[in-house]
Structures are given as structure tokens and as C-alpha cells.
Chain A
Amino acid sequence: MKRLAYRLVGSVILVWSVFTLTFFLSRLAPGNPFQGDRKLPPEIMRTLLSYYHLDRPLPVQYWEALKKTAEGDWGSSFKNPGVSVSDVIGKALPVSITLGSVAFFASLVIALSLGLWIARSKEPMTSVLRSLTSVWVALPSFLLASVLIEFLAVKLPLFPPALWEGWRSIVLPALAMSIAPAGYLARIFATSLKDTFQSPFYQAARGRGISSFRLVVAHGVAPSLNAVVAILGPLSASFLTGSFVVESIFAIPGIGRVFVLSVMNRDYPLIMGTTLVYTFLLVGMTLVGDVLGEWLDPRVRAI
């Protein structure tokens, strides 16, 4: 309980630090969001700046923004006046979460089966499989996405090459996002499984002569899962990064694409909104990972 409170305070500090950093970094950037393709007359520029309070001293702006953000008013997009940041995020987030969860479960299934295969195989198969996973980890998601589009959408039109319409359009982006994390996860799971296979409790269970299915699943896989659960936080980070790239390539209207576009457009409120949503997701995933880890493995609880 005390640890949970400690974690909660830490999360609030994290969110606040991210807010502060993002705020000052985006304000330090040269230029302002209205210096675009058309040159605006100076008086219009002044009106715009004062309308958005961008002409006030930075500390004042910071305090106002912090107060408003904490109250839940995330402002409206600079590039699309009248469209509130919450609306944009409200529309984009479900898309990203759908895609992210499908990709997450895909990578989990791939990683667990591959990890089990690696741990139970013999040399030289183990090394071959391990090298395969390092190729996966080294494969940038934008390359995988391009290759998938070229072969499974253009040459062989099985799936749509872009956009977000129906379940078919989930397959390719989810695959592109899940391969690298799956490789990473499979390595960790395989190492953990190998340790478990050599541990006394596993050998004892084996000595009792229980069925090999129960042996592997209940005494091998279950205790090895904590290694997987422990990296849920970093793993969700890699899905975030994946979402920037994959959503941009497949033109999927999710948070990743909104973030990349808002950075290109210097749309401050939208940059802030998406960054904060990312931070919430990261904090949430890490917390879920820790709680799951304790529930799965009593050894962690004791510490």
C-alpha cells in the first residue's frame, strides 16, 4: 500500500516533468505556429498571438497552461481552429488502442511460442533461432511496413495498403508493429525459461512424473512469465514508437500520426496533448506490469 502511494506520487511528478519539459522545449523552438505558407500581415499576427496568449511572458503562459491542463481543458488545435485537442485525441486514441492491443497480443503469442521453442530446442537450432530473433529486433518497423505493403497489398492484393477501414486494414500494421518487440520478448522469455528448467522445483516436479504438458505449462512457463511481465513498461514504449512510424506509413488516424503531424506543424496544444496521453499510457502500462508481476510470482512480493 505504501509502495503504491509512492508510485502514485512518482507518476504525478513524471507527468508534471513531461509537461514542463514539453512546454519549454516547444516555446524555445524558433518561429511560431502561424509562420506558415502564407505571410500574415503584422496586425493579424499580433491579434492571433494575443488571442492565444502567446504574447505574454513565458512564466505566465506556463502557469496558465498548467492550470488549464490540470483542470482538463487541453485547449484547441492551432492548425484547425475550433477543434479541441480533447476531440482530436478522443477520436485518435481508440484507433491507436485497437491497433496497439492487436499488435501487443500478436507479439505476445509469437514471442511465447518462439521463446518456448528456443528453450526446448537443441544446438544448433537454438543458435539459429536466436539469430533469427536478433534479425527481428534489428528490423526497423518502417522497412517491415514497406515490404509488407509491397508484397501483401500491392503485388498480392490481400490487404488494403493504407487507411483504417474494417478488420483487414489492421493486419499489416499490426504485423509491422509486433515483429521487433516479439523478437526482443522471445529472447527474454527463452532465457528465463532455461533458468526455470534448471531450477530445483522444476526438476522435482519432473521427478514426480507428471504429464509433460502440465510440467511445461504449470512448472515451466508460469514461473518464467515474470521476466516478460517485468518489461511491460519498456515494451509499451516500443509500441508507442512503433505507432509513430506505422500509423504514418499506413495513414492510420491514430495518436502516433497526430503526434508526428503536430510536431511538423508546431501545433503546441496538440503536441502537449499527445505527449501527455503517451505519458499516461506509459505510466499505466508500467503499473499494470508491476501489479501483474506480483500476482504471478510470489517471489517478487516478498521483497
Chain B
Amino acid sequence: MTADPSSRNLRRSLGIVAVGLLGILIILSVLPESVTGLDPVRQDTRLVLAPPGTENHLLGCDFLGRDNLARLIKGSGVSLAIGLSVGILSTLFGMLWGLFSGYAGGFSDLFLMRVLEVWYALPELLIATILMLVLGHGIVAVIVALSIGGWMGVARVVRAETLKIREQAYLEAARSIGVPPARLLSRHFLPNLVPVLLVLLLFRIPGGILGESTLSFLGLGLSPPASSWGTLVNEGWKALPLAPWVLAFPALMIVLALLAFQWTAERAGERWSR
């Protein structure tokens, strides 16, 4: 990257904004239900599609008269939890695959890479959608489907990094004094992979969030009355001509969350890849 100081400052402030946004999102998602004092599934037929600013209902109500803010807080928790779980699971799985492939080398490497290529050719959402057939429509199903759909990129990067580490002088030194493989992995490979893994994780989390919201929006992910950003957007979309605000708030949350994670990941990538 360029060493131009004004550009560096700009990037740095963008990074701070992104991390700040992340903090706000996380706080919002762990707020207890009692903050609004309203039950996210309680329906009030007199308040169907009430606009924002209605008494007691800061963000208005949805098509069944449920409080939008209460549903949004609950949905944020669910969506972020799904994104985080998908991120961690797919990063872990990809790490194991890539690490083993790169470390073992030879035939196992060749075999694992061919299998990987098969998976890699398919879009995450196609795999996840077909998996949803088997797994049902719960939160765990969505997490598993998206994790199996999206670990391949991680495996590729981890393998490349592992190959790089294998060529380092310190590794040759360690090996030549007879350090056993398990210790090589835990003391030499893993610590050196940590920065890369963190960046990959930060990129995978928004992938999980986007995947969940797309699946749920299409009606293939979580099903009502569960709330997540995807299901909220789906409901908002149905009410769009009458009450655009029902769509607007969860939509805003998705875009903010994706941007916050992406910017943080990019910034982290720049800092740690030196």
C-alpha cells in the first residue's frame, strides 16, 4: 500500500469508525428484552403497521402489530450469533483442512486439494440451500449449512500460509533438533497462522450474516415466528408499499453490520500482513 500519510490517516479513521460500529451492534444485540419493556412476539391488532414514533413503539409496529424495536433487538442477537458461529466454524474447519493439506504434502495434499476444488466451484448459497433440505429450518440448521458452504476459501489461504511457514529457516531448525510434529504444529505453525486466521474470521462473519439474511429472505432459512435480520427484511418486503419503515430498519442494520465487519477485516488485514 502507499505510504502517503493522508491516505493512511483516512484508512485509520475508517478502521476506528468500523470498530466503533461493531461495538454498537454488539451492545444492541445483547440488550435484554426488558429495555423496551415489550414482548417481541406480542401482537396488538390496533397497531398493525404503526409508523415510527407511535407512543411506546419507537420504531413502529409490523404487520401483526408486534413492536419493531423489540423484534429488531432480538433479531440482531440471532443474526450476529449466526454470523459469529458460521465464521468460527467455517474458519476452524478450513484451518484444519488447509493445515493438514499443507503440512502433510504429497499424496494427501493432492487428494485434499482436488476435493476442495470440487467444493470451491460451487457458490456458498447453492450448497447451503441444498443442505437446508436435510437440516430443517432452525438456527442450528442455518449455521451448519452456511459453514459447510463456506470453508473452502479459508482452507486455500491456510494451506498457502502453511507452505510458506514450512520453508522458513526456523522450522528447519526446529525439525533438525527433533521437535515432534505435534509440537511443531502447536508451537510453530499455529502461532504464525493466528493473524491470518483472525483476518479470515473477520471476513467470514459478514459472509455468514449475508448468507443467513439471504436464505431467510428467500424463505429457505429461519421460518417465522423466529426473528433475525433476514426474516425481518422478508416481512418488511411484504409490507413495503404500505409501511417502508418495517423494511428500512433491519435493512440498515444488515448494511451497517456488513460494512463494519468488512472495514475492520480490511484494516486488520493491512496491519497484520506486514
What is A's interface to B at a CB cutoff of 8 Å? 10, 13-14, 17-18, 21-22, 25-26, 28-30, 123-124, 126-127, 131, 134-135, 137-143, 146, 149-150, 154, 233, 237-238, 240-241, 244-245, 248-249, 259-260, 263-264, 266, 271, 275, 278-279, 282-283, 286
Contacts and interface: CB of A to CB of B under 8 A. Distances in A.
B122 A263 contact: no
Interface string B241-274: 1001001000100110011001100100000000
B160 interface: no
Contacts of B114: 10, 13
12 contacts: A14-B117, A26-B134, A123-B4, A123-B10, A127-B14, A135-B255, A138-B206, A142-B214, A142-B233, A244-B125, A263-B132, A278-B122
B259 A25 contact: no
B118 interface: yes
Contacts of B117: 10, 14
Interface string B23-47: 0000000000000000000000000
Interface string B200-240: 00000010001001100111100000000000010001001
B259 A134 contact: yes
A264 B251 CA distance: 24
Contact of A245 (B2, B124, B214, B254): B214
Interface string B1-17: 01010110011001000
B84 to A, nearest CB: 17
**B interface, how many residues as a size bin?**
35 or more
A263 B217 contact: no
B184 interface: no
B130 A26 contact: yes
A275 B262 contact: no
Contact of A13 (B118, B129, B247): B118
Contacts of A134: 259, 262-263, 266
A251 to B, nearest CB: 13
